[in-house]
């Protein structure tokens, strides 16, 4: 079965494997009815909460990081340094917030009568799907990109395979390359299992409970919503679901910030660069392409649309995240894995811009352990020739060095130009269907999908040489 | 024939040869095959490096080269990274030792 032969059948295979007819929400042009898709194929917040409560996913602890807050205040000017909180999702059954996404996907698969579920992921989501499949009595296959052509794999990815197998899943490990998707499609055809994609409406809706809980817990604890929520951003589902949950709670003034690890210059599909990166998730290699083209995922339309909800997008460097991971263990007594600590490093810095009475929350933590711990990751990096040292994090070059800040005050976020990212997104939408004119509904969709304005989108369309037609609404 | 039917094993397979790889992969990746590793119960007696058939934990039948019996996890907590020891000491100094950041 040739690569292109299998890929040409992707839509048909997917339709059978997710049970959603995406065409129902399509207009045929740029616009598609996102909210209708979320409403008709997702679950209500109440339903989701009940599904998750049934499998012990709810009300994870909200912990104030008093020492890290104090540290941020010592590094900022007087009166600055917001209170930093962390939502301890590591206490979920599979050890990360991904249990929320998996709970709904697996529940849905079971309801539709599928015998098993498949997910393509090297990350925590695999463990989450495996854990939920075990709880709900379905078979489970996880396909992961794991090794380079020398057979070497990141300890973090190998640990995640172990965890999936611990929950009874079959793990298929592949070498580097985007053809993971090809293998995935072949497996869906062979087994007839459900595609527990990260990007279905129910997968994303599963995360809404996280945003909702954050608001409810803060209202109970502090009598108000947090000012800022920072989400580690990779495929965009974490941020999308959390932001939607905050909106459902009525927390309209809470700002949502995305944070990714800066891996500039490393090609995600490169065999030689695969093991030069020291973060396997939450980095710009996923974060940027999924922002500018969310529908590049494994379903026709991704329900994770981060630009719709993001107020700000920042990056931090690898050494800064490793440093904050160690800080979390050493001065807060919380030993947690790296992904959530990406947003912790960002929050540490953003808190210093905010007044002392403000509240910033890191919305997830993940489990840690052998392989998925900073020491084996740094050992692996050092053995791969990466220079690890104390210094100024600004000097870090992804794939060459990991620079631990000589002092915590040297941890600095970098703001990404969101307008530039939005522009790329609009350009991709237009190029995908090769349009020279769009209608008013398309325009409205682009404004919503980029959380921008009519003026902004119109200006970019003008640059791209695309006209906006007034639509005949048949009145 | 020192590996017995029913033993838990790891097999290896080439899914796509270099010339069959996706058009968009970078040049370095195009030079190497897409490989796969999967575990299962051996369906017949065999020796290491034999082409064999296994039944996976989800009861799929997979063919491949037998590479390992009773495969186990070899990842660990890594080696000592002396730099890590300094971080906690520094932070405790800043927070509790009277030293100021500014």
Nearest beta carbon to residue A174 from set B21, B36, B76:
B36
Question: How much is the pLDDT for A116?
Answer: 98
At A390 the three-state DSSP class reads strand
Distance CA A402, CA A390 (A): 9
Task: Answer yes or no: do A239 and A300 share one domain.
Answer: yes
Task: Answer yes or no: do A21 and A71 share one domain.
Answer: no
Task: Answer yes or no: do A308 and A236 share one domain.
Answer: yes
Task: Answer yes or no: do A249 and A398 share one domain.
Answer: yes
Instruction: Give the mean pLDDT of chain B.
Output: 94
Distance CA A352, CA B92 (A): 19
Q: Please, what are the domains in chain B?
A: 2-74 (2.30.30)
Q: How many domains does chain A have?
A: 3
Q: How is A188-210 classified by DSSP, letter by letter?
A: HHHH--EE--TTSHHHHHHHHHH
What is the average pLDDT across A94-104? 95
Tokens of A98: 């991904």
Confidence band (pLDDT; 50, 70, 90) for B100? low
Q: How far is B29 from chain A (nearest CA, A)?
A: 5
Task: Answer yes or no: do A33 and A8 share one domain.
Answer: yes
Residue ending a domain, among A391, A415, A439, is: A415
At A401 the three-state DSSP class reads strand
Distance CA A103, CA A63 (A): 24
Q: Is B67 on the interface with A (CB under 8 A)?
A: no
pLDDT digits (tens, 9 = 90+) for A406-448: 999 999 999 999 999 999 999 999 998 877 889 999 999 999 9
What is the average pLDDT across A217-240? 97
Question: How much is the pLDDT for A475?
Answer: 41
Q: How is A122-152 classified by DSSP, letter by letter?
A: SSHHHHHHHHHHHHHT-EEEEEEEEE-TTS-
Bridge-based pairing state of the strands A170-175 and B34-42: antiparallel
Q: Percent of chain B, pLDDT > 70? A: 95
Task: Answer yes or no: do A233 and A153 share one domain.
Answer: no
Question: How much is the pLDDT for A41?
Answer: 80
Mutate to test the interface with A, among B20, B84, B96 (most CBs of A within 10 A): B84
- Interface confidence, given as ipTM, is 0.93
B58 and A390 within 8 Å at the Cβ level: the answer is no
Confidence band (pLDDT; 50, 70, 90) for A129? very high
Residue ending a domain, among A399, A415, A431, is: A415
Scanning B15-54 for CB atoms below 8 A from A yields 15-16, 20-22, 24-26, 28-29, 31-40
Q: Is A183 on the interface with B (CB under 8 A)?
A: yes
Question: How much is the pLDDT for B98?
Answer: 64
Task: Answer yes or no: do A272 and A400 share one domain.
Answer: yes
Question: How much is the pLDDT for A474?
Answer: 45
Question: How much is the pLDDT for A220?
Answer: 98
Confidence band (pLDDT; 50, 70, 90) for B101? low
Query: Running DSSP on this structure, what letter comes out for residue A179?
Result: T
- Asked if A367 and A353 count as a contact pair (C-beta separation under 8 A), the reply is no
Q: Percent of chain A, pLDDT > 70? A: 99
Mutate to test the interface with A, among B64, B75, B76, B98 (most CBs of A within 10 A): B75
Q: How far is A15 from chain B (nearest CA, A)?
A: 22
Distance CA A109, CA A51 (A): 13
Contacts A182 to B, Cβ<8 Å = 15-16, 22
- Asked if A63 and A336 count as a contact pair (C-beta separation under 8 A), the reply is no
- CA dist list (Å): A207 to A239, A247, B10: 9, 13, 36
Count Cα neighbours of A329 within 13 Å in the Cβ-side half-sphere.
20
Query: Running DSSP on this structure, what letter comes out for residue A82?
Result: P
Domain of A21, in residue numbers = 3-50+96-199
pLDDT digits (tens, 9 = 90+) for A36-88: 999 888 789 999 999 999 999 999 999 999 999 999 999 999 999 999 999 99
The span from the first CA to the last CA of chain B, in angstroms, equals 70
Q: Smallest Cα–Cα separation from A365: which of A337, A345, A346, A323?
A: A337
Question: How much is the pLDDT for A435?
Answer: 78
Task: Answer yes or no: do A238 and A111 share one domain.
Answer: no
Tokens of A85: 């909180």
A170 and B57 within 8 Å at the Cβ level: the answer is yes
Residue ending a domain, among A136, A168, A199, is: A199
Task: Answer yes or no: do A46 and A67 share one domain.
Answer: no
pLDDT beyond 80 at A471: no
Q: Is B85 on the interface with A (CB under 8 A)?
A: no
Task: Answer yes or no: do A143 and A219 share one domain.
Answer: no
Question: How much is the pLDDT for A436?
Answer: 85
pLDDT digits (tens, 9 = 90+) for A284-301: 999 999 999 999 888 889
What is the average pLDDT across A90-115? 95
Task: Answer yes or no: do A16 and A31 share one domain.
Answer: yes
A195 bridge partner residues: A118
Contacts B90 to A, Cβ<8 Å = 407-408
What is the average pLDDT across B28-42? 97
Task: Answer yes or no: do A161 and A233 share one domain.
Answer: no
CATH number at residue A90: 3.40.50.1100
B60 and A389 within 8 Å at the Cβ level: the answer is no
């Amino acid at each position: 079965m040739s690569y292109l032969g299998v890929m040409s059948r992707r839509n048909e295979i997917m339709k059978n494997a997710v049970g959603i007819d995406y065409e129902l929400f399509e207009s045929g042009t740029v616009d598609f009815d996102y909210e209708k898709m979320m409403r008709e194929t997702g679950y209500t917040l109440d339903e989701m909460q009940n599904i998750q409560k049934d499998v012990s996913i709810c009300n994870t602890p909200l912990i104030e990081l008093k020492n890290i807050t104090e540290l941020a205040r010592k590094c900022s000017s007087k009166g600055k340094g917001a209170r930093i909180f962390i939502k301890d999702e590591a206490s979920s059954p599979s050890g990360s917030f991904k249990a929320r996404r998996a709970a709904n996907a697996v529940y849905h698969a079971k309801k539709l009568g599928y015998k098993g579920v498949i997910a393509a992921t090297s990350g925590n989501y695999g463990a989450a799907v495996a854990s939920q499949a075990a709880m709900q009595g379905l078979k489970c296959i996880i396909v992961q990109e794991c090794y380079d052509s020398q057979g070497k794999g990141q300890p973090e990815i190998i640990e995640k395979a172990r965890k999936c197998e611990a929950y009874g899943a079959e793990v298929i490990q592949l070498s580097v390359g985007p053809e993971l998707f090809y293998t995935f499609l072949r497996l869906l055809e062979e087994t007839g299992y459900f595609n527990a994609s990260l990007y279905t409406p129910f997968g994303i809706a599963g995360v809404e409970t996280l945003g909702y809980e954050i608001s409810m817990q803060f209202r109970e604890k502090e009598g108000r919503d947090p000012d800022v929520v920072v989400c580690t951003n990779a495929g965009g589902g974490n941020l999308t679901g959390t932001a939607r949950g905050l909106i459902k709670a009525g927390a309209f003034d809470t700002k949502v910030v995305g944070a990714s690890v800066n891996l500039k210059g490393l090609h995600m599909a490169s065999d030689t660069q695969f093991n030069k990166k020291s973060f396997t998730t939450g980095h710009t290699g996923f974060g940027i392409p999924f922002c500018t083209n969310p529908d590049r995922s494994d379903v026709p339309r991704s329900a994770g649309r981060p630009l719709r909800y993001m107020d700000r997008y920042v990056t931090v460097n690898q050494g800064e995240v490793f440093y904050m991971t160690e800080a979390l263990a050493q001065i807060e007594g919380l030993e947690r894995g790296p992904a959530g600590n990406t947003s912790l490093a960002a929050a540490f810095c953003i808190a210093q811009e905010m007044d002392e009475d403000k509240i910033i929350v890191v919305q997830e933590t993940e489990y840690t352990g052998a392989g998925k711990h900073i020491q084996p990751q740094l050992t692996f990096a050092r053995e791969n020739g990466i220079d690890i040292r104390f210094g100024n994090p600004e000097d870090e070059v992804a794939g060459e060095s990991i620079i631990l800040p000589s002092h915590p005050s040297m941890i600095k976020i970098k703001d990404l130009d969101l307008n530039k990212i939005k522009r790329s997104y609009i350009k991709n939408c237009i190029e995908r269907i090769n349009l020279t004119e769009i209608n008013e509904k398309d325009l409205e969709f682009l404004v919503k999908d980029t959380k921008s304005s009519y003026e902004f989108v119109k200006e970019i369309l003008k640059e791209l040489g695309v006209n906006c037609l007034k639509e005949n609404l048949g009145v | 024939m020192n590996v017995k039917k029913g033993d838990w094993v790891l097999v290896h397979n080439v899914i796509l040869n270099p010339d069959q790889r996706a058009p968009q992969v970078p040049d370095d990746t195009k030079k190497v095959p897409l490989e796969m590793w999967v575990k299962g119960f051996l369906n017949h007696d065999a020796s290491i490096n034999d082409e064999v058939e296994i039944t996976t934990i989800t009861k799929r039948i997979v063919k491949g080269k037998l590479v390992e019996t009773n495969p186990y996890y070899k990842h660990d907590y890594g080696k000592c990274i002396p730099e890590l020891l300094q971080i906690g000491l520094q932070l405790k100094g800043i927070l509790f030792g009277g030293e100021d950041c500014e």
